[in-house]
Structure 1
């Protein structure tokens, strides 16, 4: 059983998580978090810790940002958009058990004192912005690093605030470029 309580958006998300792992979940019910829901999340956070696992879409990101501000000690798990898409729908409920387990294995913390390890120069020189396939490269790299897909600005924020090390980043970039070369051959 996972020690932390997993915070998800809906009932179907809970079903998908429970098919993948043995864990307790709390449902936000979308962005309109009721006071009693926030109280339950706060209790879970103080007693067991929480893992925020929201949908890889704009609504899920808004919920994640809100909860991150309110619960800065929360852990974060991200499922890549392509692994959470089925039947013309994006969400945790669409993800496979393997995708959920993989995301939970790469849990990240929002660091209290973020370091500025990465800059826009790193993003640009790594082809994560300013080139035609930048969004696709960020999606692949985000999945590898466990920080999810984001636009260039948010991706840079996550690199600096979710404990990604320079060696992790460099290794992931090398693997990404190696995979791209193999695919081109």
Structure 2
């Protein structure tokens, strides 16, 4: 029997996924859209993720906003997490900023990444 994670974070790319995997402390499934995603794929995701806590964490740029808009229409139950526009991309946002975004959604993170003076 497969153990299905209750929480799912949808990101754009594999570098975003790797960064989140580094800081997140609890079991969470991370799904990559690889930048673009069609309505058919979103519909499949919606069916697949029904009843789970879904978080959308995409880049603060045009393609990220288009993706977010699509998810808001097709998957209104999803919770949207936002990185600060000055960092533009999830992958380039500092670990401490990513942690504060995840913590604000009650997602558990490794405390060593919370401090601003990380490397």
Deviation at 1:16, TM superposition (A): 0.7
Q: 1 CA distance for matches of 2:99 and 2:13? A: 18
Cα 1:26–1:92 shift into 2, 3 Å:
same
CA RMSD of superposed structures (Å): 2.1
Q: 2 CA distance for matches of 1:34 and 1:71? A: 11
Deviation at 1:37, TM superposition (A): 5.8
- Number of positions where the alignment pairs a residue of Structure 1 with one of Structure 2: 99
Which is bigger in relative contact order (C-alpha 8 A, separation at least 6)? 2
Greater helix percent: which structure? 1
Deviations 1:19-68 (A, max 9, x none): 11042111112123373464235412x13221000001111011000011
Q: 12, 15, 19: which is aligned to 1:16? A: 19
Give TM-score scaled by structure 1 length: 0.48
Higher Cα Rg, which structure: 1
Give TM-score scaled by structure 2 length: 0.72
Structure 2 equivalent of residue 56 of structure 1: 60
Deviation at 1:95, TM superposition (A): 1.6
Cα 1:13–1:42 shift into 2, 3 Å:
farther
Cα 1:36–1:72 shift into 2, 3 Å:
closer
Greater strand percent: which structure? 2
Q: Can you give the 5+ residue segments of structure 1 that lack an aligned partner in the other structure? A: 85-89, 108-185
Q: Can you give the 5+ residue segments of structure 2 that lack an aligned partner in the other structure? A: 106-119
